[in-house]
Structure 1
Amino acid sequence: MIHEISLLQMTELLLEYVEISDSRYKKVKESGEKGDFYNEVKPFADDVKSINDRWKEEAREWISIHKPRNLYSQQIESAAEHIEMVSIQAFFPETSRTRFINYVNSAVYVLKQLIILLSEEKKGT
């Protein structure tokens, strides 16, 4: 299934994962309870990583070909790192709220920018 997925679909899926991580973090912060490492943290982080690694390569390749004005390879690299971090840190109440929010916002910005660019390309504008 994962081999049939487009860059746009991967980007949308990662955006969903970041939003899931964000709401998970809010719950964990409220309850003060850590996620179970083997039953929750690792499976979720592994799912995210499997998409994230491929997304990073394909997004960087797309950027090098299309050279959009407001999105750079370095932003993809940072977003991929942030996505990976929030997918793990979301399960730990001791995670810094400010840093977590910054990682989420940064990743969401890059993902949404790419979604806009890919959607425009798909429409042929």
Structure 2
Amino acid sequence: MSKIEDTKLLLTICDECEQRFYHMRETDHEPDFFEEVKPYADVSHQAIAQWAEEMKVWIQKEKPRYVHEVQVDSLKDSMTQFVVQSFYKATGKKRFILSIRAARYTLQTVLDAMNADRGEDHVNE
């Protein structure tokens, strides 16, 4: 997958986590850790880690103006946490939603920077 597709995948994970969070609260469902939480978290955490490594290489190479490694590290930590938290109704709503919003903002900033780079490349060709 391309860096853009990987970034869009992380946006999809954000959406899934938010939907799951509300669903778990509405249904009062207590998930089975090994049947529900762990399989989803393992796949998501792998995608997040892979994306973070790709972004660090891209940042060092392309030096985008509004994207920095510290943002990538922060997003990685935050998403790794809220992927698991989304399964539990006891998760605090305000902090959870703010974490997702921050992740979406960072991911959109990355997409905008990649699209700007692609536009510049096409101009130079």
TM-score by length of 1: 0.90
Aligned to 2:82: 86
Q: What's the counterpart of residue 7 of structure 1?
A: 3
Query: Counterpart amino acid of 1:15?
Result: L
Q: Give yes or no for the alignment of 1:77 onto 2:73.
A: yes
Residues 1-125 of structure 1: pairs in structure 2 closer than 5 A: 5-123=1-119, 124=121
Return 5+ residue gaps in structure 1 as ranges: none
Considering only aligned residues, what root-mean-square deviation do their CA atoms show, in Å?
A: 1.3
CA-to-partner distance for each residue in 1:28-71, whole Å, 9 max, x for gaps?
12222222211211111011011111111110111122222211
* Large movers: runs of 4+ above 3 Å: none
**So what's the TM-score if we normalise by structure 2?**
0.90
- Give the residue type in structure 1 aligned to 2:108: K
| SS class of match (1:22) | helix
Structure 2 unaligned regions, length at least 5: none
CA displacement at 1:108 relative to structure 2? 0.6
Deviation at 1:7, TM superposition (A): 1.3
Number of residue-to-residue matches in the alignment: 121
- Partner SS, residue 71 of structure 1: coil
| Rg larger in structure | 2
